[in-house]
Amino acid sequence: MVAKSDSIVAALRAEIIDGTIAAGSRLKEEAIASRFGVSRVPIREALLQLESEGFVNTEKYKGATVSARSERDVVELMQVRRGLEVLAASLAAEVRGGDEAENLRAVVERGRRAGESGAVDRLPSLIMEFHEIVARASGNAELVRMLDGLLRRIAWGFELEIEDRIDTSWSDHAAIATAILGGSPVQAGYLMGEHILKDEQIYRRQANA
């Protein structure tokens, strides 16, 4: 059974990411407890979890507020993400995708079809799914956990220009999947690194526009 604080974390995190709760907003325990119909204990637990993920800041006498996002924060997160995703792709290739091999093939095919049909609205979730599958295919549970948190925080600070990247994004994914399934760790890591670097470059252009 999912703990109350876990479901509250998920709800608040989603609202912070989509902007429903803006950066700098106060997160008052009493008001949130009333909203979810719980005591303040699970609210405190939820806010501590969100603070550990970087979504919330807690200051003495001021309480909890939604963190502000800076360009530097997002760039640094992307750099860390690149290193972890390169490792994940390399480890996944060592076992040719392991138990996730068929899932990897399937998500690449779904992404390709979505791109060809112009179903742009389906791509963000498929992109996230692809990277989650590669992480799981690494067989490293700690790596999966770290990437899960990073991807959420990056999604909060950066939206890809999906329409401009339909073709290149899914050709990248197909190439990475081929290297993983073919058992080529060095190639899989290199291709993943180049793929993530494109996102960093897009973000820098957006931030400086």
- From first CA to last CA, the distance across the chain in angstroms is 46
Tens of pLDDT along 172-203? 999 999 999 999 999 999 999 999 898 888 77
Considering the chain, tell me which residue range(s) the CATH 1.10.10.10 domain(s) occupy. 4-66
pLDDT at 199: 80
- Alpha-carbon gap, residue 14 to 21, rounded angstroms: 9
In this predicted structure, the answer to whether residue 2 has a pLDDT above a threshold of 50 is: no
pTM of the model: 0.74
3-state DSSP call for residue 63?
Answer: strand
CATH code assigned to 71-208:
1.20.120.530
- Alpha-carbon gap, residue 172 to 130, rounded angstroms: 11
H/E stretch holding 56 reads strand 56-59
Tens of pLDDT along 125-177? 888 899 999 999 999 999 999 998 888 777 665 555 555 565 567 889 999 99
pLDDT at 166: 58
Q: Report whether 76 contacts 153 (CB < 8 A).
A: no
Q: How confident is the model at residue 1 (pLDDT cuts 50, 70, 90)?
A: very low
Considering the chain, tell me which residue range(s) the CATH 1.20.120.530 domain(s) occupy. 71-208
CATH topology (fold) of 4-66: Arc Repressor Mutant, subunit A (1.10.10)
pLDDT at 3: 54
Indicate left, alpha or beta for 139 from its phi (over 0: left) and psi (-120 to 50: alpha): left
Tens of pLDDT along 11-51? 998 888 777 888 889 999 999 999 999 999 999 999 998 98
Q: How confident is the model at residue 6 (pLDDT cuts 50, 70, 90)?
A: confident
For residue 168, give Cα distances in angstroms to 87, 90, 172, 197: 22, 21, 6, 13
Residues of the chain with pLDDT > 70, as a percent, come to 89
- Alpha-carbon gap, residue 135 to 86, rounded angstroms: 10
Mean pLDDT, range 102-120, rounded to an integer: 89
Q: How confident is the model at residue 105 (pLDDT cuts 50, 70, 90)?
A: very high
pLDDT at 43: 92
Short-list 133, 142, 112, CA closest to 181: 133
3-state DSSP call for residue 130?
Answer: helix
